[in-house]
Structure 1
Amino acid sequence: MLMINFEPKRSYQTIGLILRKELSDGLYTIGSRLPPERDIAERLNVGRTVVREAIIMLELENLVEVKKGSGVYVINLPQDKNSQADSSFVRQEDIGPFEMLQARQLLESTIAEFAAVQATPSDIERMREALEIEKNEIESEGSLDPTGDRLFHLCIAEATQNSLLVDMLKQLWERRESSPMWKKLHCHIENKDYCKEWLDDHAQILLAMKRKDPRAAKHAMWQHLEHVKVRLLELSDFNDPQFDGYLFDSIPANLVSQEK
């Protein structure tokens, strides 16, 4: 039996190891389908996003194969030498994509709130230019280059005039772009229309920046990244095309805008 010599750091790793042991114990055979994601989440008392991330971990180890609209199928067992893919870095260091989005949501909503107060006219102009780049990329046939998206978020961080916040944002984006788990999640997503939805979100964030409205900016950024999480979870759902839940509450009580 293949031994796992590491302590899980992430929630998805804990669940992934449970599923991995069930494969080793013969609970599932090669060619069989794993139970629906919802059933696994209920049995192990975790959220569906954690199960989704655990399955991505098993995919990267070449133990399971995801078939869109059909489910997750066992293709190797842990004692099979073919399952020993080079995943040590993934298992020990990689952050689950939905955990990463949650961290971005908490950090970037606060950055946007502060940036709305600090932003200069030149900062606003740079945000506009980034938005235009993003729009052109989306309109370009087959273009999936995220340059404009990243640049827009970076411009907001730079508008805070706080270099540490800028560094923190850059580190999050660098982890995203180097993450095998993030890439594996996206390989199951065929419909790219969501990029247009996110462009509209960015326009709302920019509007709040122009108005120097910190509360609206924080709300708009929070909601934008909530849209990202929900859409990615929905589009990558291989069991049930009818999405039925959120990672956590969309907008905490203290972020809900009050009409003036």
Structure 2
Amino acid sequence: MSRQYQRIGERISAEIAQGDLTTGDRLPTEREYAERFGVSRTVVREAFIMLELAGRVNVRKGSGTYVCDPNSAALTNPAPAGDAPDSEDIGPFELLNARQVVESAIAACAAELITKPEIRRLQQLLDDERRGLTDVARGRSQHVEADAADRAFHLGIAEATQNTLLYEMATRLWDQRRRSPMWQHLHARILDFSYRNDWLADHDAILRQLRKRDSQAAQQAMWIHLENVKTTLFALSDTDDPRFDGYLYQQARAR
């Protein structure tokens, strides 16, 4: 069964194929599509990402999303299989919704069972993440180290539940993010990583509640954190916003 963003993307693609939208036409806004199809804007955002990866549309800086020339290089030289979305790719906001539900419950469970060595380990990971973000800000490194510490922090909380199935569920969600061309397309275009300091503060808040062994507060802190992640990524990739700077999108095979 196709995913919701795929069905919306296919409907937009059909409009292009039928000539309702032609080369150079600006697509309606996400809000207009959301109202027309009765879906959220995040679903439309995911459909746009799918269409851009397929070479059907491109985003012009500060202008909007436009239909590509069917004879363009993006279509005559399609993306490598590893870069193209497939039927198994989960939209980035759908994935974040799933993580929010699962990881919030995991945080609540972990708060009841976490040990002092595990708390020390999580603190070390936050120190690693903080150091990695500082190095990025000073131009001394890429964000790889900070990303690795981010993943390890979340999975460390899952491990603290002492429940193998919960740990495997969390790992699967993070692995899906790593494999997802749509996630990479959304995330890798961000050039300004200052927002990651806010996420680090969220991590501090989560660990603080784990230390207190406050299950409800740990669950809420994780929920708020992943809500902040969704909100930030959605705002940074809003092509309908006149302040959009094009960081997240380029013409499909321009790179």
Corresponding position of 2:3: 10
The structure 2 residue matched to 1:66, chosen from 48, 59, 71, is: 59
1:218-260 deviations in whole A, cap 9, x for unaligned? 00000000000000000011111589xxxxxxxxxxxxxxxxx
CA distance in 2, matches of 1:34, 1:13: 17
- Larger deviation: 233-242 or 31-40? 233-242
1:180-237 deviations in whole A, cap 9, x for unaligned? 0001112443321110000000000000000000000000000000000000000011
Query: Is residue 2:50 matched to residue 1:57?
Result: yes
Paired amino acid for 1:132:
D
- Larger deviation: 204-213 or 158-167? 158-167
Corresponding position of 1:25: 18
CA distance in 2, matches of 1:111, 1:198: 18
Query: Is residue 2:101 matched to residue 1:100?
Result: no
Corresponding position of 2:247: none
Distance verdict in 2 for CA 1:216–1:48, change over 3 Å: same
Could you tell me which runs of 5 or more consecutive residues in structure 1 were left unpaired when the two chains were aligned.
1-7, 244-260
Paired amino acid for 1:121:
K
Residue 86 of structure 1 and its aligned partner are, at CA, apart by 5.2
SS of equivalent to 1:90: coil
CA distance in 1, matches of 2:165, 2:77: 41
Residue 165 of structure 1 and its aligned partner are, at CA, apart by 1.1
- The question of whether the paired residues in 2 share the 8 Å contact of 1:31 and 1:75 is answered with yes
Distance verdict in 2 for CA 1:242–1:208, change over 3 Å: farther
SS of equivalent to 2:86: helix
Could you tell me which runs of 5 or more consecutive residues in structure 2 were left unpaired when the two chains were aligned.
245-255
SS of equivalent to 1:73: strand
SS of equivalent to 2:59: strand
Distance verdict in 2 for CA 1:86–1:226, change over 3 Å: same
CA distance in 1, matches of 2:161, 2:188: 34
Residue 87 of structure 1 and its aligned partner are, at CA, apart by 6.0
Sequence identity percentage: 48
CA distance in 2, matches of 1:54, 1:151: 30
Paired amino acid for 1:214:
S
1:27-66 deviations in whole A, cap 9, x for unaligned? 1111221111111111111100000000001011011112
TM-score (normalizing by structure 1):
0.85
CA distance in 1, matches of 2:4, 2:77: 22
SS of equivalent to 1:140: helix
Q: CA RMSD in A?
A: 2.1
Distance verdict in 2 for CA 1:232–1:157, change over 3 Å: same
- The question of whether the paired residues in 2 share the 8 Å contact of 1:90 and 1:180 is answered with yes
CA distance in 2, matches of 1:90, 1:217: 35
Distance verdict in 2 for CA 1:81–1:104, change over 3 Å: closer
- The question of whether the paired residues in 2 share the 8 Å contact of 1:113 and 1:214 is answered with yes
- The question of whether the paired residues in 2 share the 8 Å contact of 1:112 and 1:214 is answered with yes
| Alignment: residue pair count | 236
- The question of whether the paired residues in 2 share the 8 Å contact of 1:60 and 1:87 is answered with no
CA distance in 2, matches of 1:236, 1:72: 12
SS of equivalent to 2:149: helix
CA distance in 1, matches of 2:34, 2:11: 12
- The question of whether the paired residues in 2 share the 8 Å contact of 1:62 and 1:82 is answered with no
Distance verdict in 2 for CA 1:236–1:188, change over 3 Å: farther
1:167-190 deviations in whole A, cap 9, x for unaligned? 111111111011000011124433
Paired amino acid for 1:235:
L
Query: Is residue 2:35 matched to residue 1:34?
Result: no
CA distance in 1, matches of 2:189, 2:64: 12
